[in-house]
Amino acid sequence: MLKSSKQVEPRDDATALAELIDSSALSCTDAMAAAVAAAIAHADTGAICRLDADSGMEAASAAERERLADPARFAGRPFRGVPTLAKDLGGPFAGFAVHAGSRALAGRADGSADSEFAKRFRDAGLCLFGLTTSPEFGLSLTSEPLRGPICHNPLDPTRTAGGSSGGAAAAVASGIVSIAHATDAGGSIRVPAACCGLVGLKPTRGAMPGGPLFTNHLGGIASEMAVCRSVRDTALIFQALRGSAKGPGADPAVVNHRESKLRIGLLTDTGALHPTDDLRCEAVLAAGCLLEAGGHEIIPLGWDAFEKCTAASQSAFGSIISVNLTSLADSDMERVEPLTRAFAERGRRMTGARLWDALNDAVHVSRDVWALFDAVDIILTPMLSCAPLALGSFPVDHADTELHLDRMAAFAPTASLANISGFPAITLPFGRDPMGLPLPVQMLAPMGQDNLLLHLAAHLEAAGRWQHRFPVAGLVS
C-alpha cells in the first residue's frame, strides 16, 4: 500500500501540473509516463479497473504536438496535458467501453464515441488512460464490485474509498492522477471525496451537458463532474464543462457568486435514526465560525426542517434506481450481483402509479428545499455521519434492498437531498480526526448558485485545515 513521507501542500493539484507542463519543465508524455508508473506501483489500491497505457501515451503525444505547434491553443486549455481517468460508469469516452462494474455488460458496452460531456472533458486538455472502479451500476456508497477490483481508501486501506466514484477518489487521493471523472446520483461524487479528503461538487441539475447516451435515464437525479484535490481545480473544470451544447459559457442559469453578507444555515443534528458523530459535527461548527468571522450570519437549523424531505429523497432514490434496472434482460439477471437483481425485481414489481408517486415526491422535495432557502442563502451540514466505514460494510450478496438503502442513509444522511431536489452541493475536508482521516463538510445552495458554493469553499480551504498525504505523480521527482 501507499507510503508517504511528507504532508503535501493544497496546491499540489491539476492546475499545478498543467503549469509545470506549460513551462516546459515537464512534457505531456513525461507526465503521462509518471501517472502510468504510479498506477502500476499502486495497483493494490484497486482504484483502476482498466489501465490502457498505450491510449494514454497517444493522447499525451497529441497534446505535446499541440504544445509545440500551437502554443496559444494549448495554453487555452485549463488542464493542458494533465493525465486523467474516467469512471466505469457514465460518459461514455471513446475507446473506453463502460461496464458499470458489472459482468453483465462485458463485451456489450459501446465505447465508440465520446458523449458531449466526454468531448468537453478532453477539450479541457485532459489525457485519458484508464477507467476507475465503480460498484455494480453505481448502487453503493463503496466501490467493491464482485467482479473486482476492490477499491481501498489510500488513507487507510482497511476502509472504503466511498462510492460510487470510489475508484476516482482513490486515484486522486493517492496521487496517481490529480483529477478524475466522477458521477453523482445519490452522493457518488461527494461521499468518495469526503472519504478521501478531496473536493467534490454535485452541480445544479442541468448545468452539465447530457447525452447522447448518459442522459435522463435516472429521472434527472444524476450529474457528471469530477473529484479534485483543490477548489480551484473544481472551479476550472466546472467552467470548462458547464452550459448548453452551444458552449461551456452559454448557460445563463449558472450565476456568479455574490459578495454580500450571507445567511448560513447550520445543521449538525441529523436525527436519532442516523446521528452524526461529535467530531464531524464539530467540523461543521468550526466551518460556520470561520464563515461568521468572514462577515456572514450563522442561523442554526434543526433536523425537523429536514426530516421529511430527506426521508422522501431516500425513498424516491430507491424507486428511481429500481425502475432504471428493469431494462436488464432476463439473460443478464444471472450475471449481476444478488443485490442488483433484487433492485431490478423490485422495479419490475413497481406499478406506474407508484413510480408517478416517486417522481411527484421528488418535485415536493425540490419545493421543500426551496422553502428552506427563504430563510437562508446556504445550508452547511456534515457530509458523512462517521469515519469512512470498513470494507465490507455494504455487502451485495443479499436481496434486502431496504436494508441497503438504510445503510447508505446512515452513512451519508443528507447526500440524496441534493440529487432529488436538483440543487448544487459541494463537500471538502475541514480538518482531520485522530486517525488522520478527513472531517468533511457539505454546503448546499439554491439552483444555479454553484459559483457561490465554490467561492465559500475556497474561503474554507484557505484556512489550511487539510493537507494531502500523497503527492501527484509528475509533480515530484
pLDDT digit string, tens, across residues 82-93: 999 999 999 889
Is pLDDT at 477 greater than 80 in this prediction? no
Compute CA distances 190 → 90, 182, 195, 425, whole Å.
16, 10, 9, 8
Beta carbons within 8 Å of 199's beta carbon, 6+ residues apart: 193, 227, 228, 229, 230, 231, 233, 234, 426, 427, 428, 457, 461
Compute CA distances 342 → 138, 168, 347, 396, whole Å.
15, 27, 9, 10
What percent of the chain lies above the pLDDT cut of 70? 92
Question: For the domain that residue 189 is a member of, what is the CATH number?
Answer: 3.90.1300.10
Work out the pLDDT band at 214, boundaries 50, 70, 90.
low
How confident is the model at residue 329, as a pLDDT?
77
Residue ranges making up the domain that contains 170:
14-306+360-461
Tally Cβ neighbours within 10 Å of residue 293. Answer: 10
Work out the pLDDT band at 245, boundaries 50, 70, 90.
very low
Q: Which three cell numbers stand for residue 426?
A: 459541494
Q: Is residue 316 part of a domain?
A: no
CA–CA dist 209, 378 (Å, integer): 25
How confident is the model at residue 331, as a pLDDT?
74
How confident is the model at residue 210, as a pLDDT?
81
Of 265, 346, 354, 358, whose CA–CA distance to 313 is shortest?
A: 358
Is pLDDT at 7 greater than 90 in this prediction? no
275 three-class SS: coil
Q: Looking at the annotation, which residues are catalytic?
A: 87, 164, 188
Name the helix (H) or strand (E) containing 202: strand 199-202
Work out the pLDDT band at 98, boundaries 50, 70, 90.
very high
Kindly state the average pLDDT of the residues 23-47: 97
Is pLDDT at 246 greater than 80 in this prediction? no
Is pLDDT at 256 greater than 50 in this prediction? no
Note the pLDDT tens digit of each residue in 269-288.
999 999 999 999 999 999 99
Q: Is residue 264 part of a domain?
A: yes
Q: Is residue 294 part of a domain?
A: yes
Kindly state the average pLDDT of the residues 357-369: 93
Least confident of 121-130, 251-260, 333-342, 418-427: 251-260
Note the pLDDT tens digit of each residue in 452-475.
999 999 999 999 999 999 999 999
Kindly state the average pLDDT of the residues 313-324: 95
Q: Is residue 292 part of a domain?
A: yes
Work out the pLDDT band at 162, boundaries 50, 70, 90.
very high
Note the pLDDT tens digit of each residue in 163-192.
999 999 999 999 999 999 999 999 999 999
Compute CA distances 117 → 179, 223, 241, 275, whole Å.
15, 11, 7, 37
Q: Is residue 111 part of a domain?
A: yes
Q: Is residue 272 part of a domain?
A: yes
Q: Report the number of distinct structural domains present in the chain.
A: 1
Q: Is residue 328 part of a domain?
A: no
Q: Is residue 6 part of a domain?
A: no
Is pLDDT at 101 greater than 60 in this prediction? yes
CA–CA dist 305, 308 (Å, integer): 7
How confident is the model at residue 426, as a pLDDT?
98
CA–CA dist 94, 29 (Å, integer): 20
Kindly state the average pLDDT of the residues 134-156: 97
Is pLDDT at 317 greater than 50 in this prediction? yes
